[in-house]
């Protein structure tokens, strides 16, 4: 018995009567409300979370050029993630940030870039405080954990 091509096509149509939507037909939502806050030694970027995504990409730039993010693209996993902290050290620098979501290899568009400037520490750090007890002298044996000294 031979099967005609028209019969095969009819079987395929009845097997998949309702077409399914691909993830590319509905890309993830763009994160909203990005806010950047500069603090001593860091810049914090926060955004509103998006349900149903795998995580977020944060573009870190010296200029608001999203076509060529020149510092880094940092990935933050989890749909509940809502902030990223960019460490700057003891220097005041300005950085631009933009956030996008991703799901199964599909990405949303970038949100509009926002900028923030870190803050320099007020004074240089002082020396650490002295230890609360004097260090042992050279002839004193170090303590052991068993309450007695090990002899060799």
Is the model's pLDDT at 94 over the cut of 80?
Answer: yes
Structure tokens at 100: 């996008």
The mean-pLDDT minimum among 9-13, 47-51, 53-57, 61-65 falls in: 9-13
Name the nearest CA neighbour of 96 among 69, 57, 56.
69
Work out the pLDDT band at 125, boundaries 50, 70, 90: low
pLDDT in tens, 14-39: 655 555 555 556 788 999 889 999 98
Is the model's pLDDT at 92 over the cut of 70?
Answer: yes
Q: Is 134 exposed, middle or buried (0-12, 13-18, 19+ CB in 10 A)?
A: exposed
Give the total residue count for the chain. 152
Mean pLDDT of 92-108: 93
- The pairing of beta strand 35-39 with beta strand 114-117: unpaired
Give the three-class secondary structure for 45: strand
pTM more than 0.85:
no
Work out the pLDDT band at 140, boundaries 50, 70, 90: low
Mean pLDDT of 144-149: 53
User: What are the structural domain ranges in the chain?
Assistant: 27-117
Q: Evaluate whether 121 touches 88 at the Cβ level (below 8 Å).
A: no
Is the model's pLDDT at 80 over the cut of 80?
Answer: yes
**pLDDT of 90:** 87
Is domain 27-117 in CATH 2.60.40.10, yes or no? Answer: yes
Is the model's pLDDT at 147 over the cut of 60?
Answer: no
How far apart (Å, rounded) are the C-alpha atoms in residues 128 and 123?
15
- Quote the percentage of the chain above a pLDDT of 70: 70
Task: Identify which has the larger pLDDT, 137 or 111.
Answer: 111
**pLDDT of 97:** 96
């Amino acid at each position: 018995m031979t099967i005609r091509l028209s019969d095969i096509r009819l079987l395929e149509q009845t097997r998949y009567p309702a077409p399914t939507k691909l993830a590319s037909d509905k890309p993830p939502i763009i994160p909203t409300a990005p806010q950047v806050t500069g603090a001593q030694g860091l810049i914090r970027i926060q955004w509103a979370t998006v349900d149903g995504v795998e995580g977020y990409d944060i573009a870190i730039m010296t200029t608001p050029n999203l076509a060529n993010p020149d510092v880094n693209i940092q990935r933050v996993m989890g749909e509940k993630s809502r902030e990223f902290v960019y460490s700057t050290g003891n220097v005041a620098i300005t950085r631009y940030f933009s956030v996008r979501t991703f799901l199964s290899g599909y990405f949303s568009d970038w949100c509009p870039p926002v900028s923030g400037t870190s803050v320099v520490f007020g004074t240089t750090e002082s020396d650490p405080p002295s230890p609360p007890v004097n260090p042992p002298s050279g002839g004193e044996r170090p303590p052991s954990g068993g309450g007695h000294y090990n002899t060799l």
